[in-house]
Amino acid sequence: MKKHLLFSLTLVAFIFLSACSEHKPVVNYQELRTSLISLNSSLSHSSTDDITVLPFTEGYLQLRHALLSSSLNEPDVMAHKELDYLRIQERYPERYLPWPSHIPVLKNVEGRVSAEELDLWLKFVMTKLKEADESNIRLNRFERDAIIKQLEDSNIDAPSRSTLLAYLNDYKSRAMLGLHQLPNGKEWYQSKLNFYGAIQESPNKVLAMLSKIDEKKSKSIVLNTMPNTQQPYILELLPANCQRISGLNWRDEFINVPSTVAKCTKAIEQHKALIVTLMAVDLGIHYQGWSQKQAFVALNSKLALNEQQAQQLIANIVYFPATIFAAYPHFLKP
């Protein structure tokens, strides 16, 4: 493991230094993926790599930018598209919300970083949230509540824990759940539609297309697979024998979602009505600015859900915008 970490850090250092020169360093796909996995060790519940930097600190952002700025020596087109997508995501306000609330960061780093390091990171989180608030960038209610619960459940011995908890208890979360309400939120969402669904047209045109695809079955769709907040729900719908294609994005558990879904068309066809419904709700939340109540109504009009299933589906859509659209190209085929 130490050898693996040393390799990753050496590659990161090489890329970081090379980024200052006129020519971008050339790396192969596995080198880049390995380095991104190591960089995001604190964001993965299964990682055993040493943690070198904590999420969205200045050091993290510099190393990530250096990695994403490299030139990829890889013939697979989708690998290049994913790298381009990750570069685009750097433009948006994610860095102002440094704690991805669906990730149990405190549990992930327990015993792997010092109390002093963790204390500094929690102070950093609060500082960034205050800076974000000044720019009208705020957590939604799901995100705020999830972070509060993690802080309450944790036994970490860090003075900043109680300070951050008090701050969040008085924190005013944004009214809507989706990207719609964030600065450049619609453009941010469009960039996700472009990558996951290969969609170039506007969300309004996509909505019109979905209304044509919708089978309008009178019988409610039964949800057999319980959603969670650890991976995009579209991946949960795929059987185990559908090969997961390696990816570069920690948010998707380093799975290339569009490539994976494209190889599992039988599973997608089987869940067609469900997926179309979820696409419409995804657009509603992230593009049209739906409230949680509106999302509940839309889901319950098509699906046979209990309250917990509906809540989990909405949370999954909130945490993984547009990922459900990885199935969209399949529905456009004649």
User: DSSP states of 11-33 as a string?
Assistant: HHHHHHHHTTSSSPPEEEHHHHH
Minimal CA–CA distance to 1: which of 50, 35, 45? Answer: 50
What pLDDT does residue 333 have? 74
CA distances from 231 to 105, 190, 226, 234, 267 (A): 15, 20, 12, 8, 17
Token pair of 133 as six digits: 């608030």
The string of pLDDT tens digits covering residues 123-172 is 999 999 999 999 999 999 999 999 999 999 998 888 999 999 999 999 99
Minimal CA–CA distance to 316: which of 295, 287, 289? Answer: 295
Point out the residues of the chain with pLDDT beneath 50.
Answer: 1-8, 217-218
29-39 and 2-18 helices, crossing angle to 10°: 110
What pLDDT does residue 2 have? 42
CA 194, 196, 39: angle at the middle one, nearest 5? 105
Helices (H) and strands (E) in the chain, counts: 17, 4
Token pair of 183 as six digits: 């600065």
CA gyration radius for the chain?
20
Token pair of 68 as six digits: 């994403």
Contact 141, 319 (CB under 8 A): no
Distance, CA of 321 to CA of 142 (rounded, Å): 14
